Amino acid sequence: MAGEIDQLRRSAPDLAKLDPLSTQVCEWLDRAHDAVNRVDKAEAVILRMHQRYLLDPAEKIVASAEIIETLDRAARTAALMSKTGGPRQSAA
pLDDT higher than 60, residue 91: no
pLDDT band at 84 (very low <50, low <70, confident <90, very high): confident
- Which sequence spans correspond to the domains of the chain? 2-82
pLDDT higher than 70, residue 9: yes
Print the SS3 string covering 24-65. Answer: HHHHHHHHHHHHHHHHCHHHHHHHHHHHHHCCCCCCHHHHHH
Which amino acid makes up residue 52?
A: R
Q: What is the pTM of this model?
A: 0.85
The crossing angle, in degrees rounded to 10, of helices 60-84 and 2-10 is 150
Mean pLDDT of the chain: 91
pLDDT higher at 2 or 78: 78
